[in-house]
Amino acid sequence: MEEKLTQEQVLQMLADRKIAALREELSRLEGADVAELLQELPEEALARVYRILPKETAAEAFAEMSSDTQEQLIRSFTDRELHDVLQEMYVDDTVDMIEEMPASVARRILAQSTPENRRDINELLKYASDSAGGTMTTEYMRLRADMTVEQAFAVIRRDAYDKESVYTCYVTDDNRHLIGVIDVKTLLLSDKDARIADLMEPDVIYVTTSADREEVAHLFEKYNFIAIPVTDAEKRLVGIITFDDAMDVIHEENEEDFAKMAAMAPSDTPYLKTSVFALWKNRIPWLLLLMVTATFTGMIISSFESALAVNLALSAFIPMLMDTGGNSGSQASVTVIRGLSLGEIGWRDVPRVLWKELRVSILCGLTLSVVTFVKLLTLDRWLMGPDVTVAVAFSVALTLLVTVCCAKLIGCSLPILAKKLGFDPAVMASPFITTVVDAVSLLVYFSIAKAILGI
């Protein structure tokens, strides 16, 4: 791809008053690129450059900007300018924007929308933002079953301009009930006098407004649709969700899961643009919580102080046991969390999951135990001296086997339990599992050591 226009070049052209050239350069870019470029500009240059943009590029770029930049621009707009931008924007983008704005700005946006758009916006604002209703747009292409292909194309030509997606058309009856779906490709390949009723696909995959937006997004991964229709409880068509919105949902949900698995609050802002204070705020609650819960681990160790005093070599293996337990647990929990998130695992699968993890953990535990037993009596004995007796090695190896089994069973069951109780399974990931498994592995270790070493 060609070299991109940089922020410095834009500012230089602005300073040199090369306005026509700048307009020409900017109009050649995609909306997303213009948005990226403008967001980097100093505040006073932002509104100036924005006014240079051709109308269509301006609207495209505006829809792609962060809500902070949008707010800055709206505050600099006249009512007329705001009205023009809103005219060009798709309703679902407008709703997403309104949800991020302070009340006063939101009211101004509603006031400057056309009556028809205002009705659609208010309609969409009613739905929860993580539901299909809160993700859909009301601008879709609707046909009737008794139309001919030629009539259908006439409707598409008439209405296409302000529809987000025209390539999949929905067929409804007089009561707006969804009765079929037809692609523009099929229309193009059909005779112009053919009836839509004979060409359409009557078995439509659809979702209702209350469906979870993540589940809807996974339907796109499964079926490769450009859009999925959304209906109310009576199967009346009320909107569509397009593949690009589904991609956004998948992106957001994945980043949320990644953040939670690393014990952080999720954030929409790219890392380099997040302030130090915001990062601190996202990270410190979990660190504090996990630090405080580690008190239990400390109590377990200090209650076995006497055992540790008798054989100091025992403490050398605490980190290894805790880490291996934690890693085994995370493997199981992350596998199950992803399975839940992708809809591959459900509550009914609990017995299968437990049985599978039990067998895997015994295999993993045995492998690790044998390797560790040999390693302790050779390498570690050589490194740490005669304190590492056969009895110590056996205690450590046996602890590993039991710990790995416990860790994997805890790791696979907690996320499913969390989901059943209505929590997000992703918070049951590595850091949380590690804390639980730490306590378990120490209890197992000291109990086994006491029994075998007789201390």
Q: Of the candidates 1, 103, 233, 421, which one interacts with a copy of itself according to CB under 8 A? A: 1
Residue 125: CB minimum distance to a copy of itself, A? 23
Cα angle value 266/208/348 (rounded, 5°): 70
Q: With binding defined as CB under 8 A, does residue 416 bind a copy of itself?
A: no
Number of residues that bind a copy of itself (CB under 8 A): 115
Q: How far is the CB of 322 from a copy of itself (least distance, A)?
A: 6
Among 199, 227, 360, 418, the residue binding a copy of itself under the rule CB under 8 A is 360
| Contact stretch for a copy of itself (CB under 8 A) within 110-118, 120-128, 271-279, 417-425 | 271-279
With helix as H, strand as E and coil as C, how does the chain read? CCCCCCHHHHHHHHHCCCHHHHHHHHHCCCHHHHHHHHHCCCHHHHHHHHHHCCHHHHHHHHHHCCHHHHHHHHHHCCHHHHHHHHHHCCHHHHHHHHHHCCHHHHHHHHHHCCHHHHHHHHHHHCCCCCEHHHHCECCCEEEECCCEHHHHHHHHHHHHHHCCCCCEEEEECCCCEEEEEEEHHHHHHCCCCCEHHHHCECCCCCEECCCEHHHHHHHHHHHCCCEEEEECCCCEEEEEEEHHHHHHHHHHHHHHHHHHHCCCCCCCCCHHHCCHHHHHHHHHHHHHHHHHHHHHHHHHHHHCHHHHHHCCHHHHCHHHHHHHHHHHHHHHHHHHHHHHHCCCCCHHHHHHHHHHHHHHHHHHHHHHHHHHHHHHHHHHHHHHCCCCCHHHHHHHHHHHHHHHHHHHHHHHHHHHHHHHCCCCHHHHCHHHHHHHHHHHHHHHHHHHHHHHHCC
136-155 footprint of a copy of itself as x/- string (CB under 8 A): -----------------x--
C-beta of 111: minimal distance to a copy of itself in Å? 29
**105/339 with CB nearer a copy of itself:** 339
**Residue 161 touching a copy of itself (CB under 8 A):** yes
Residue 250 lies near a copy of itself (rule: CB under 8 A): yes
Which is closer to a copy of itself, CB of 110 or CB of 226?
Answer: 226
* Distance of closest approach, residue 221 Cβ to a copy of itself, in angstroms: 5
Binding a copy of itself (rule: CB under 8 A), the pick from 124, 200, 238, 322 is 322
**How many whole angstroms from its chain centre is CA 211?**
16
Q: How far is the CB of 11 from a copy of itself (least distance, A)?
A: 20
Based on the shown chain and the rule CB under 8 A, indicate whether residue 382 belongs to the binding site for a copy of itself.
no
- Exactly one of 162, 258, 310, 391 binds a copy of itself (CB under 8 A); that residue is 258
- Interface characters, 27-56, with a copy of itself (x: CB under 8 A): -xxx-x------------------------
Of the candidate residues 5, 197, 320, 377, the single one contacting a copy of itself (CB under 8 A): 320
Structure tokens at 149: 């292909």
Q: Is residue 430 a contact residue for a copy of itself (CB under 8 A)? A: yes
Decide whether 127 or 220 has the Cβ nearer to a copy of itself.
Answer: 220
Among 122, 255, 378, 417, the residue binding a copy of itself under the rule CB under 8 A is 255
- Binding to a copy of itself in span 183-242, by CB under 8 A: 184-185, 188-189, 203, 205-207, 220-224, 226
Token pair recorded at residue 213: 């937006």
Shortest reach from residue 78's CB to a copy of itself, in Å: 29
Nearer to a copy of itself, 129 or 254 (CB): 254
The CB-of-157 to a copy of itself minimum distance in angstroms stands at: 6
The residue among 98 and 368 lying less far from a copy of itself, judged by its C-beta, is 368
Beta carbon nearer to a copy of itself, 118 or 338? 338
Q: Which of residues 274-313 bind a copy of itself (CB under 8 A)?
A: 276-277, 279-280, 283-284, 286-288, 290-292, 294-295, 297-299, 301-302, 305, 308-309, 312-313
Residue 353 sits in the site that holds a copy of itself (CB under 8 A): yes
Long-range contacts of 39-42 (CB under 8 A, 24+ apart): 39/65, 39/66, 39/69, 40/7, 41/7, 41/10, 41/11, 42/11
Shortest separation between residue 412's beta carbon and a copy of itself, angstroms: 10
The CA distance from 303 to 450, in Å, is 12
Strand partners, 177: 236
Contact pick of 4, 18, 48, 251 for a copy of itself (by CB under 8 A): 251
Residues 237, 142 contacting (CB under 8 angstroms): yes
